[in-house]
Amino acid sequence: MSPIAANLQVVKRRISEALQGDRRAITLVAVSKTRPAGDVRVAFDAGCRDFGENYVQDALPKIAALAGLPLAWHFIGSLQTNKAKDVAEHFDWFHAVDRAKIAQALSRHRPASQAPLQVCIQVNISREATKSGVTGEEVVPLAREVASLPRLALRGLMGMASPTDDVAKQRREFAQLRGAFENLRAEGFDVDTLSMGMTQDFEAALAEGSTMVRIGTAIFGKRDPLPGPLPREREQA
Ligand SMILES: *Cc1c(COP(=O)(O)O)cnc(C)c1O
């Protein structure tokens, strides 16, 4: 068995253990950013269908190389408006809506021949200045804006916890995101996706109600930085 397939088995077991008998469906997004198309293929053969990327230039050649496979591509990083067309044309999901302008650009560029782009609003739960995302109070107004756009389907919320091993702190931050999600549902939005949890904190996220985890390192191993400068896209690495 390949290391990627073995890692996947471990991750899947940890996910089912973290659910503690709860049978809700979890989508595992394998975060393949910086990884070659061959690694995506290995993960596909081991059962992965959803892949996460956050650098446009790194992702597009991989998506083209694997175009024959039934994959769902998730763009999980923040995005400049001038790259919205690439994402709208080549991805299935965008997790990081943080302003009306990017939502409008994605809707405008989403080809009519494709299903609406599935999107999540990113909420800044860690309150770190370097992390993007809206505040809790901004979620509902932005959701109204997104829901009014014809080529987007609002699916839910995404957030990243502070980089910490303190599980109690991780859980407090994820609980805030779940609160914002429940509030959105109470406001009448038909959302079903809570995208939270990465290698360091996915068990805490699942304990707080995550429905979608985005896991890179635990599946593919430690990432090497990409060669060469990739200005704003690199901020998320
Ligand atoms: C890189 C990345 C991940 C995956 O991180 P790992 O720690 O490798 O699991 C998840 N979400 C976002 C937004 C990322 O940029």
Residue in 73, 74, 198 to alter for ligand 1 test, most ligand atoms within 8 A of Cβ: 198
DSSP string, the chain: --HHHHHHHHHHHHHHHHTTT-----EEEEE-TT--HHHHHHHHHTT--EEEE--HHHHHHHHHHTTTS--EEEE-S---GGGHHHHHHH-SEEEEE-SHHHHHHHHHHS-TTSPPEEEEEEE--S--TTS--B-GGGHHHHHHHHHT-TTEEEEEEEE---S-S-HHHHHHHHHHHHHHHHHHHHTT----EEEE--TTTHHHHHHTT-SEEEESHHHH-SPPPPSS--TGGGGG-
The binding-site residues of ligand 1, defined as CB within 6 angstroms of any ligand atom, are: 31, 33, 54, 76-77, 160, 198-200, 214-217, 236
pLDDT value at residue 227: 60
Q: Whose CA is nearest to atom 13 of ligand 1?
A: 76
pLDDT value for 236: 45
| pLDDT, tens only, 30-54 | 999 999 999 999 999 999 999 999 9
Q: Which CATH superfamily is domain 3-16+24-220 in?
A: Alanine racemase (3.20.20.10)
| Ligand 1 center to 221 CA (angstroms) | 12
131, pLDDT greater than 50: yes
